Structure 1
Amino acid sequence: MKIHVLGSAAGGGFPQWNCNCANCDGLRSGTIRASRRTQSSIALSADGGDWIVFNTSPDILQQIRAFPALQPGRRLRDTGIRAIVLIDAQIDHTTGLYMLRESSKPLDIWCTEQVRDDLRNGNPIFDILEHYCKVTWHVMPIDGSGFEIEGIGDLHFAAVPLRSKAPPYSPHRENPHPGDNVGITIRDRRTARTAFYAPGLADIEPHVWHAMRSADCVLVDGTFWTHDEMIRLGVGTKTAVEIGHLPQSGPGGMIEHLSRLPAQTRKLLIHINNTNPILDEDSLQRAELTARNIEVCHDGLDIQL
């Protein structure tokens, strides 16, 4: 399977449009070594022709322009996007659906029932798109049975429910349901190679740890370095876990879990917040990740499994 990182940043991108933290100001002024990043999304393909896009960020049009495989020239109106998989209903993962409204056929979307309900009630993107290209919705099972997407070769997908809250606009924000947020295991039946994708991960429960240990490659939550990052910098009032993200450092942090994975597992962090010091390629935090063989995703990164 082929994985292409369309965007590697958390909501707001990097640099964030209204932020002058050390990272954002340093990138703009050229005083740190770092790369611009759009908001988190990946594309995946079995053959390099038809692609599944995981999440559609507000930057989707920019990401398509940067990755010509998603805009092939086979006919007058064309796209390499065969289907879209939504792991949650967050704004930074779904707003890009509006940008795809010129599609010549209904958007083929896989998501859980909870995500579909939020995108019909709390933030009615699906209903609005009915006035444009329309949507063909496929239920994403969360019982472990998995699913396959027509036209995508021998790839098998399985949703892994994650402990999380629905988006702030959701009618059941304070009453979480399984399926509000999922990770995805993708298995290539031809090669038996497996990837696990979870850009929003607050708690590594036993079934999540099993999915991570079973994967040849994991792309997981890299949002924050410390649990109090937003509070300490004065740009927020909640801890990382309260926002829905496991920090990298500290006891029980992402680094500790990734370090316990088999040595041959490829370990990558994605969905990196603009405040995270690992964006500075010369930082001590980035050096620690490198020493532990943990990679930091960047826009345009290609992974072959």
Structure 2
Amino acid sequence: MYDFDADIADCARSIEVALDRYVTIEMLAGPGLPSDRLVAAMRHGSLNGGKRLRPLLVRQAAAVFGVRPEQALQAGMAVEVLHCYSLVHDDLPAMDNDDMRRGRPTVHKAYDDATAILAGDSLLTLAFALLASPDCHADPAVRIALVAELASGSGVGGMVGGQMRDIEGETSILDGEDISQMQAMKTGALIRASVRMGAILGGADARAMSALTYYSEAAGRAFQLADDILDVTASPETMGKATGKDAAAGKQTLVRQLGIDGAREHLAQTVNDALIGLRTFGPKADGLRATARYFGARKS
């Protein structure tokens, strides 16, 4: 029987060990020697925290096709360092201006703004180095597909573009469709990419990829909606970061439009939509099912 708690803990531990080994001066050297301060800032922004949910999705989607966790580890690590880069940059004064992340000072507070920018840049480029390495997968065509998928999910049509839409929404009126589009890009696109990268590792055919894409898009909507609800209802101590900032910044969310009760009802339906996408996969997709339910029930 599938054990979600064991799976998420093992994935987080595996990612932590891999990042601790990889994000070092020795491993990152070439053609020059990295700065001690820059590597330390990269480690501050990527180690010691986080649930590692995106690499978990990579590994769970790959497991649908019989791929072992260790075979999905490097692709999962690539998604995670890219996610960490986005957090480092989002926390900067020019963006969300956050002082705390995962219960610790953000990178720009622990170091300085310029170092945080460069640390984020370094984590971003590391993500694609990890995917390009033969250690990720023996088949170059698979590695190219993984690179393309992560670039699509994280670029101007995905995460970065969604962040831009979020900034624009602070000074313009967005309707429900606009908010959904912004959130599908800002948060959902990287969740979508994580699931699809697991499917790529598993050699998914077009039908399976379509079903998993449907799941991933619904799961991404659920994750963001839960995050918006927690921003209103949870304490900073529970979240490990400031809360209540969306309303203070004038950000437009579905919670603001629907109210807390309406948002929770919509969240339950969205989780159900994600589960519908997995109907044809049987017990091998139990991990993905558990993660969608976790997105809907999470408290931090």
**What TM-score do the two structures reach when normalised by structure 1?**
0.32
**What TM-score do the two structures reach when normalised by structure 2?**
0.32
More helix by share: 2
More strand by share: 1
